[in-house]
Every structure is written in structure tokens, then in C-alpha cells.
Structure 1
Amino acid sequence: MGLRERTRQAVQSDIAAAAMRLFLDHGFDAVTMDQIATEVGISRRSLFRYFATKEDIVLGDLAERGRIVQAALAARPEGEGPWEALRAALVVLTEQPAYTVETAIGISHMFHSTPSLRARHVEKQLQWMELLVPHIETRLGIEPGGAPDPRAQALVASALACLDAAVEAWARRGGEGDVEILYDQAVAAVRA
């Protein structure tokens, strides 16, 4: 990665951190792009070079995190079952916590109370589906790119829904408990 890209990522990170503080202090809908630009000390026009929308500021790293999960899934042992491989791949998300517990809880509450964030989150999950489904198709013996087969999509969609349910339950409990255990409970309910 060159200097220009590292600088861009550092600026994006600074913008996201400042915006997140504003969102958590004042509420997502109450904060404007102008306020974020002022907080960071850049022009509105410069801000739009980094993020097209407020939703992108909150969800921007989810696309990259999807690629991290994809790489982890691709690295799982060939004979491992799809549920086990998905769980192990999703664990990488807990290995690099992006926020403190308090911030993560605030973000979760913000997600669930802001329709535009929920909609964009669904879009990002559809991107994750595109990344993960081919690996699960292979595990199921389905020819990737062949005739549509709902099994791999259903497994990935279910795993992601279980992850969302686990994180939401964890946040509603005030950060009490282990997200992995909550995920396992959600998966057990789906597989029952």
C-alpha cells in the first residue's frame, strides 16, 4: 500500500471517529455532513471525497470486513462443514474489535433505531453474501456459477442473521455475555 492510500485511510479513519462521536452524542439523524466536516476541520466538498453519505461513514468498513471474513472462510479446512466453517470465519470479526464496548453498544442501538442505517446494513450484507456463497457452494458440492441452488444462499443468510441477532441481544444486555455464545444459541435455534 502506497503513501497516498495510507494517508487516505488515515483521513477516513479520523472522519469516521469524529462522526461517530457526533452520532452517539446527538443522534444519527440530528448530525449533518456540514457538522462532521467542521468537526474534522475540512470542507464539505473534501468530506464528500471520502464519504458520499452519513450511512457510508458508519458502514464504510463493513465491506472490508466482509473481505476479511471471505479470506478466513477460504482458509478453512476443505472437509469442514458449512456451518462450522462459517462460524470459524465470522470469529475473525471479534479478533479485531473496532470499538470499545460502550461505543459498540451505542452503534448497535443507533443501527436499530435508524431506518436508513438498517437499509444500508442490508445492502452490505448482500455484498457479504456474494463473497461467501461461492465458498459454501463448494463445501456443499455445488458447482459455483452453475444453476441457482438456494442451499448455500440460505446457509449464509442464516449465519448472518444469527450474527445480527447475537450482536443485538448482546447490545440490549448492555454488553453482558459473550457474542460467540449468543451466536451459537441463535444457530442452534435455526438448525433445530
Structure 2
Amino acid sequence: MESIGVRPSYDFLTMNLHFLKGRKLLITAGVYESEVAEKVQDTFEKYRETQSYKEAILSTANTLQLSKASVTSYLPYQKGVYFPSTADKEKISVGAERQRRYRAIRKLRSEPTEEHLWETVLLYCGVQFKTYSGLPFTYEIRKGRSGEYTKELWIDRRGKSKSLAWSSVLLALGNIKKVGEVVERPKALSDIRGVTYIYGMFYRFG
């Protein structure tokens, strides 16, 4: 059975929607999660780097032994043109934004550098995370007078904001490299200010 991260109150039969189309709508909205969906999207993105959209779908279907229709239903709807990675997320489609995040996370996992971490953190501004105890939070990164992003994250928790220094995030990243294994609790990253939020971010980044 697949798991849905958020259980919407949509009734596709009432809405007269086909199940695959309904699932695609939920994925596009970012409220549907499952291991199969993630595997399909990751596989598709790998092929997409060197193949056209249609070729990548066929390659993904062959690799995962799924039908073309099934693969398509696990991908978000696309609209408009693809914007460069520097484009503001307000100017791109939901699907394009999700794909940018997948690409950033893959680079971060394969090469956990400060540059790749910063790229990923920027792309996840406004996205909801959860602490180890399950409490939701988001963060934002503000721009200075020069128009450049400041190296400071503002954590939004229950309507209150607290700052998180980028140096603390980097310190936690360095400690993960030293551990070299799955980090099961925030304190395993050392006693860093804001570690409960850093852990929640790193957990989602994989």
C-alpha cells in the first residue's frame, strides 16, 4: 500500500476524475507522497538530464516495469517553459519547481558541499518541515540592501520567528560527515544552536 503524506478530503468519484489523473493532481499540488512516486520521479529526472521528455518517460517505464500511463501519473503536471535555476520560484510552474528541488537534492547527496547545501536550502524556502518530535516549521532567507541573500535563516514556528546562523548549519553538515552513518537524533549532531530545526531540514534532504 502506498502512503499519502497528507490525506486530502477529495472524492475523485464525486469529482468524476480518473484515479491516475487525481493522483497526478495531488502530486502537482505537493500533497501526495509514496515510495513509488519518489522512485519514479527520481528515475525520470536522471533520464531527463540526457533525454527528451517523451524518451525519459519510456526509459523510466522500461526500467521500473511500469506502463507509460502509470509513469506519467506519478509526475507533476508541466506548464510553460523551464526557467534557469536562478529564476524566482514565483515565475515557474509547480512541476518545474519540484524538479529543481529533486536535482538539487541529488547533487547534495552525491557531493555534500556548502555550495550544494546552500542551493538546496534556497529552493526549500517556505516548504514545511518537521522537527524530530513532529512539530511543523518553515523558514525564509531574506535579502540585504544589495539584493543578495543574507546567510541567515529565519525559522517560523507558531507565528514567531527566530534566526538560525548559516555557520550553525555548516557545523552540523561537518558533523554528519564525521559520523558517517545515519544520524538518529538531533543531539548526535552536537550541541548546536537550532539543531532541532537543522536536523528536520537534513532529514528531509536525505
Q: TM-score, normalised by structure 1?
A: 0.38
Higher normalized contact order (CA 8 Å, seq sep 6+, divided by chain length): 1
Q: TM-score, normalised by structure 2?
A: 0.36
Q: Which has the higher strand share?
A: 2
Q: Which has the higher helix share?
A: 1
